[in-house]
Structure 1
Amino acid sequence: MSIDWFTFTAQIINFLILVWLLSHFLYRPIINAMNDRQEQLVAEHNKAISAQQEAETVAATYRQKTDELAHAKDELLAEAGKEILQWKENHLHRARTEVDDAKTEWYHSLKREKEAFIREVRLLMANHVQQMSRRVLSEIANTEMQKGVIKTFMKNIGQIDEQQKCQLVSLLETSRHRVLVETAFPLDQSDRDLVTQFLHDFLGSEVGIDFEISTELICGMELHVAGYKIAWNINEPLEELEEEFVRTLNEEITLESVTDMSATT
């Protein structure tokens, strides 16, 4: 069997032309389409990877922020707890201090009222005792006691020193040579004469003498010369006794207060 080389060659050429045509018009667009699709898939894959990485970054950032917020929340709660505890302690301390101060002030006020009441009662008792003493002494005063008062009065005047006597004499000029004698009881004429003669002899001049009765005196007599006074009466010892009683009372109350304060502290 002989080969038709022309036909064989023509078929080869046709095959090559077919291959070229298929390659140019069919395979190349398909390959290009496949390449484009592959590139698109790669791009989408890369985009997906980028999106995933971005999402992971965002998620990590969110977790970090969440952790930071949780930590900050714990710190804020802890700080708030400390501040609340401190506020509670401060207000409790202040409340206790105010209560203690109020209690102390109330105690001191009660003590002052008690001391004032005791002092007032004791002073009233002392005043009552003094008044009773004056009344009793005034009621029991008799002629013999009055004579003794006059003698004691003249004795006290006679015992003053020279300086006082000179001062007394010099004051007579101011009083126009008149003196005042006050007594707790009325003097009869003989007693007045006795006192008058004594004062004339003592002062060295016949001064004028006014006699008056004083309800303030108790079994006593007073000589007044231009504001100068020489006195003897039981009222003065009673007043001294009252002053001593009041002074002792105040010292006793003060000592009790100090003792109570020491006991409370």
Structure 2
Amino acid sequence: MNFDWTTFVLEFVNFIVLLWILRRFLYRPVLEVIQARQRKIEDQLRQADRSQMEALAAKEACERNMASWEKEKALARMELEKEIAAERQRLLARLTEEESERRAKQQAQEERERQEWMRTTEQQALELGSRFVVRLLERLASSELEARLISVALGDLGALPKSELEKLRSAMAEDSLEVSSGYPMAADRQEALAAAIGQAAGSEVNPTFKEDPSLLAGLRMHAGSWVLSANLRDELKFFRDVFSRGAS
């Protein structure tokens, strides 16, 4: 096999031309594409690094926010617990006050009911007592009881205070003395009564005696506005007035 230098040189020249063509029209564009791709990848890496750094910063900020939120939440929980405790105390105090008011009202109501019951019982007792006394005195009316009542009147007349005696003297100076009795009064008893009145008044008196059956028993002495009563009618009137006040 013979080596052909011309062919070798031509082939070598063709190879150099091919390299130049490849470098000129293929290698540089490919290299530029590769470089552009590399720059893009580097940009993406830098962007990824920035994103990673931003993510880390966001994560740290989020963690700080979470810690701050947990702290605020704990403080809010404490404040809420304080408010709940204060509201609970306020409600308990209100319930205690309302319970005290309810008990006070209940006690007041019970006291009013007790007072009403006592008043009703007293009225009933007074009514029964008054009716009993009225009926008893009406049945006891007699001349013998009148004699006793006259004796009582004489005792009361001797025990009159000075002010009443002065009223008696002033009334007798202006008006005559009248003595009414439920039964006819004997002359000796009239004289004894007139003597007792004169002794009490400090001067002789001549009273007018008359019979008044409405007195039932006993007597009534009056001169002007001065009155001394010791008879069943006035006593019954007293009990009827008491009964009427009790019933009202």
Q: TM-score range by the shorter chain?
A: 0.5 to 0.7
- 1:105 Cα deviation after fit: 1.9
Partner of 1:18: none
Structure-2 residue corresponding to 1:70: 70
Q: TM-score, normalised by structure 2?
A: 0.61
2: CA distance, partners of 1:226 / 1:110: 52
Displacement of 1:79: 2.8
Q: How many residues align?
A: 220
Shift in alpha-carbon separation, 1:214–1:226, aligned structure 2, 3 A? farther
Report the counterpart of residue 56 of structure 1 in structure 2: 56
Are 1:177 and 1:207, in contact at CA under 8 Å, matched by a contact in 2? no
TM-score (norm 1): 0.57
Match of 1:228 in 2: 226
Q: What is the rounded CA distance, in whole Å, between the counterparts of 2:151 and 2:84 in structure 1?
A: 89
The structure 1 residue matched to 2:177, chosen from 170, 176, 179, is 179
Q: Distance in 2 between matches of 1:159 and 1:114?
A: 43
Cα distance change, pair 165–111 in 1 and its aligned pair in 2 (3 A)? closer
Q: Secondary structure at the residue paired with 2:221?
A: strand
Over the aligned positions, Cα root-mean-square deviation in angstroms equals 4.5
Q: Give yes or no for contact 1:177–1:208 (8 Å, CA) kept in 2.
A: no
Tell me if structure 2 keeps the 8 A contact 1:150–1:221: yes
Q: Find the residue that maps to 2:160 and give its secondary structure.
A: coil
The aligned amino acid for 2:175 is H
Bigger RCO of structures 1 and 2 (CA < 8 A, at least 6 apart): 2
Q: Deviations over 1:4-24 (max 9, x none)?
A: xxxxxxxxxxxxxxxxxxxxx
Amino acid at match of 2:50: S
Indicate the percent of aligned positions where both proteins have the same amino acid. Answer: 17
1:64 Cα deviation after fit: 1.4
Return the offset for 1:60.
Answer: 1.2
Tell me if the contact between 2:153 and 2:230 (Cα under 8 Å) persists in the aligned partners.
Answer: yes
Contact 1:182-1:223 within 8 A present in 2 as well: yes
Residue in 2 that maps onto 1:113? 113
Q: CA 1:143–1:33 in 2, change beyond 3 Å: closer, same or farther?
A: closer
Looking at structure 2, the residues matched to 212 and 69 of structure 1 have their Cα atoms a distance apart, in angstroms, of 112
Q: Deviations over 1:110-158 (max 9, x none)?
A: 2321332133213321342243124213312322221232233224323
Report the CA distance shift for 1:71/1:143 in structure 2 as closer, same or farther (over 3 A).
same
Contact 1:220 1:232 in 2 (8 A): yes
- Find the aligned partners of 1:144 and 1:195 in 2 and give their Cα distance: 16
Instruction: Provide closer, same or farther for how the CA distance between residues 152 and 31 of structure 1 changes in structure 2, counting only shifts above 3 A.
Output: closer
Q: Which residue of 2 aligns with 1:19?
A: none
Show CA shifts across 1:207-240 (max 9, x none): 664757496x78544433443343446877xx89
Structure 1 residue 206: Cα displacement:
4.4
Paired position in structure 2 for 1:141: 141
Match of 2:17 in 1: none
Q: In structure 2, what residue type is equivalent to 1:158? A: G
Question: Against the structure 1 CA distance between its residues 67 and 177, is the aligned structure 2 distance closer, same or farther, given a 3 Å change threshold?
Answer: same
Alignment of 1:32-43 (within 5 A): none
SS in 2 for 1:178: coil
